[in-house]
Structure 1
Amino acid sequence: MRRPLCLKCGRGIASEEAELCENCRKRRFSFDFGFILLEYSDEISESIARIKYHGRREYLSFYGELSAGLIGERLLSLSLDALVPVPLHRERLRRRGYNQAELLAERIGELLKLPVYPAALRRVRNTKALKNLNPEERARDMQRAIRPGRIPESLRSVCLVDDIFTTGATVEACSSALREAGVAKIYSLCLAGRAER
């Protein structure tokens, strides 16, 4: 049985009656709402780690097809101008050789015929691994790390693309930067997120 989803971030929630997860009830986010495709599990964690740290880029083609198949129609109904991948800092990009969020966005964009704007956001600080930080530290670290990049004036409605939604700090930092640049509608799509217990 599928659990109910938070109407803001898209993660699975514990209560049948609640509309928002506890995280979204406590915090105010700049994005309109989000989609989380898969419930975070050991298998998903391993799969994403293989993509990020072991060069398994081919997994992103599968996840792009899964994304387009599961929520493609909903994404298209939002009249998006573009998909915007969450940026990597240039040092991390140099070490890894690719940005997994960008490759995922490119595959989804190819399937849904949506443009992808990887230069819309810049990561100006190389943050620590967020998994080692508490929610407040994540939010503080990320707000200083993301800035608007090259954003065409015609970009009014976008969907951010990332791999994991944990506390929402990354999506929030990106959303804030896009709002600062005048983007009116911001949605998010993350491959996986941990459901409430």
Structure 2
Amino acid sequence: MNILDIIFPRRCPLCDEVIPPDGKICPECIGKAELVKEPVCKRCGKPIGNARKEYCGDCDRKKHFFDSGKAVFVYQGAVQHSLYRFKYANRREYAAFYGKMACIQYARWISRLGIDAIIPVPLHRKRRRERGYNQAELFAKEIGKRTGIPVETKLLYRCINTRPQKELNDQERKKNLKKAFTIAQNIVQLRKVLLVDDIYTTGSTVDAAAECLKVSGIQEVYVLCISIGRGH
């Protein structure tokens, strides 16, 4: 047993209880996290109840700048609590579980797209300094490790320290993110990228980031998030 496993015991990413060093998740927690399954919205990837519908209500009403998106889990219950700890309680190790599950579900999709680089949605430097890390970046690096695709962390920057999106309605979210992102270097060599984040709600954050990337010359932007709400 590694000495670090004694000092900092591994915890289940869903219930946060201590687990054996070789364990990944409590047996009792298997099934608590609902995976996103078909039928899903063809644009954002939200699970929808009607298999005959192509798009969720949100995507029917609005234009997105990203080409299409996927998510690993439905945002509810154990996953919702897990992501809160991942973001705000320094549970950085959860990223390994999220990355593994993302690749189990979507490695073939990512390979088929021919992605040139993975780009995490950035935090503003002030918020990153306060938190100590960017959870989207940890998730991106786990996907990159498993797929062999390079992760670009110094390309897209958040230049405005925006208000937390969860405090705002849909229109306020869009306004809040206007001109929030900027490109820091030449990206001519990139044609297709995978933009990753932790939670997809209305898509305002990834849309703002995708718009910035496309204006800068990237042709196709795909999105992969850890979790997503249900569509209607």
Q: Same fold (TM over 0.5)?
A: yes
* Structure-2 residue corresponding to 1:100: 135
Are positions 1:131 and 2:190 aligned together? no
- TM-score norm. by structure 1 comes to 0.96
Alpha-carbon distance, 1:64 to partner: 0.6
* Structure-2 residue corresponding to 1:167: 202
Alpha-carbon distance, 1:81 to partner: 0.3
* Structure-2 residue corresponding to 1:180: 215
Alpha-carbon distance, 1:192 to partner: 0.5
Q: 1:40 aligns with which of 75, 81, 84?
A: 75
* Structure-2 residue corresponding to 1:66: 101
Alpha-carbon distance, 1:151 to partner: 4.0
The residue identity in structure 1 corresponding to 2:113 is L
RMSD: 1.3
Give the Cα–Cα distance (whole angstroms) in 2 for the partners of residues 184 and 156 of structure 1: 5
The residue identity in structure 2 corresponding to 1:62 is F
Are positions 1:28 and 2:63 aligned together? yes
Instruction: Give the 3-state SS of the residue equivalent to 2:95 in structure 1.
Output: helix
Give the Cα–Cα distance (whole angstroms) in 2 for the partners of residues 170 and 129 of structure 1: 11
Instruction: Give the 3-state SS of the residue equivalent to 1:118 in structure 2.
Output: coil
Alpha-carbon distance, 1:123 to partner: 0.4
* Structure-1 residue corresponding to 2:28: none
Deviations 1:9-43 (A, max 9, x none): 00111322110000001000011100111111021
Instruction: Give the 3-state SS of the residue equivalent to 1:35 in structure 2.
Output: strand
Alpha-carbon distance, 1:114 to partner: 0.3
Where relative contact order (Cα < 8 A, 6+ residues apart) is larger, the structure is 1
Give the Cα–Cα distance (whole angstroms) in 2 for the partners of residues 190 and 166 of structure 1: 10
Unaligned regions of 5+ residues in structure 1, if any?
none
- Within a 5 Å distance, the mapping from 1:151-162 to structure 2 comes to 151-162=186-197
Deviations 1:153-177 (A, max 9, x none): 1111000000000000001001000
* Structure-1 residue corresponding to 2:91: 56
Tell me which moved more, 146-155 or 4-13.
146-155
Instruction: Give the 3-state SS of the residue equivalent to 2:146 in structure 1.
Output: helix
Are positions 1:113 and 2:148 aligned together? yes
Alpha-carbon distance, 1:110 to partner: 0.7
Unaligned regions of 5+ residues in structure 2, if any?
1-35
The structure that is helix-richer by fraction is 1
Instruction: Give the 3-state SS of the residue equivalent to 1:31 in structure 2.
Output: coil
The residue identity in structure 1 corresponding to 2:172 is E
Residue identity over aligned pairs, in percent, reads 39
The alignment of Structure 1 onto Structure 2 pairs a total of residues equal to 197
Is the radius of gyration larger for structure 1 or structure 2? 2
Alpha-carbon distance, 1:150 to partner: 2.2
Instruction: Give the 3-state SS of the residue equivalent to 2:87 in structure 1.
Output: helix
- Within a 5 Å distance, the mapping from 1:140-159 to structure 2 comes to 140-159=175-194
The residue identity in structure 2 corresponding to 1:11 is K
Give the Cα–Cα distance (whole angstroms) in 2 for the partners of residues 103 and 139 of structure 1: 25
- TM-score norm. by structure 2 comes to 0.82
Deviations 1:65-115 (A, max 9, x none): 111111011101111100000000000100111111111101100110000
